[in-house]
Amino acid sequence: MIEKWALSDPELPALIFAGEKITYSQLNREVNRVANGLTALGIKKGDRVAIMLPNIPEFVYSFFAILRIGAVAVPFNTLYKGGEILHILEDSGSKALISLTNFAPMINELIPELPELEHVILTGERNLIFAHPESTVFIQLILQKNQMEDLDHAYGRIGNLMLDIVRSLGVDDPWYKHRGSIRVRGDKIAAFVISEIEDMYLINVIVFLTPLDINDFLRVVWVPHEIRDKMLEPLTSVQEEAGERPSWDRIKECVTRRVEKEFGVEITDGNLVRDELFGYEKLRSLAYKDR
Partner 1 sequence: MKWRIFSRKKGKKRWRLIFRPRGDVSDIMALPGAVVEGRVAGRYLLSSTGFQSTLIIQGVAKKGVLAGVDVSVDREAVEKYQIDIAYQPRSGRAGLRPAGTISFEDMVLDASDRFEPPTNDPEDLACIIYTSGTTGPPKGVMLSRKNFLKVQEFTQKVIKLGKGDQIVGVLPFFHVFGLSNVLIGGLVHGATILLVPQYNPTTLLKTITENNTSFLMAIPTMFLHLLRLLRRRGSRLPHTMRLCVSGGAPLPQEIIEQFKEKSGIRLIEGYGLTETTSSCCLNPPEGISKPGSIGLPLPGIEMKVCDEEGNELPPGKVGEIAVKGESVMMGYYNLPQETKESIKDGWLFTGDLGYCDDEGYFFLTDRKKEIIIKGGFNISPREVEEVLLSYPPIKEAAVLARKRGEREEIVAFVVAEKGTEEKEIINHCQRYLASFKVPDAIQFRDVLPKTITGKVMKTQLKDGYKDRRKIERGGSDWKD
Site residues for partner 1, window 209-228 (CB under 8 A)?
Answer: 216-217, 219-222, 224-228
Question: Which residue number, 84 or 243, has a Cβ lying nearer to partner 1?
Answer: 84
For position 231 contacting partner 1 by CB under 8 A, the verdict is no
Specify the stretch interacting with partner 1 by CB under 8 A; choose among 156-164, 237-245, 251-259: 251-259
**Chain centroid offset of residue 87 CA:** 19
Shortest Cβ 229–partner 1 spacing (Å):
6
Shortest Cβ 250–partner 1 spacing (Å):
11
> Nearest 5 degrees, angle CA 17-CA 219-CA 98?
40
C-alpha gyration radius of the chain? 22
- Taking the alpha carbons of 18, 216, 282, 279 in that order, is the dihedral positive or negative? negative
Distances 147 to 46, 138, 143, 178, 191 between C-alpha atoms, Å? 41, 22, 7, 19, 21
Q: Phi then psi for 187, rounded to 5 degrees?
A: -95, 150
For position 169 contacting partner 1 by CB under 8 A, the verdict is no
Interaction residues for partner 1, span 76-115 (CB under 8 A) = 76-84, 86-88, 91-92, 98, 101-102, 104-105, 108-109, 111
Shortest Cβ 45–partner 1 spacing (Å):
6
Q: Which residue, 183, 160, 181, 188, is CA-closest to 173? A: 183
Interaction residues for partner 1, span 7-46 (CB under 8 A) = 9, 12-17, 24, 29-41, 45-46
Shortest Cβ 259–partner 1 spacing (Å):
6
- Do 181 and 198 contact (CB within 8 A), yes or no? no
Position among 114, 117, 137, 163 found at the interface with partner 1 (CB under 8 A): 137
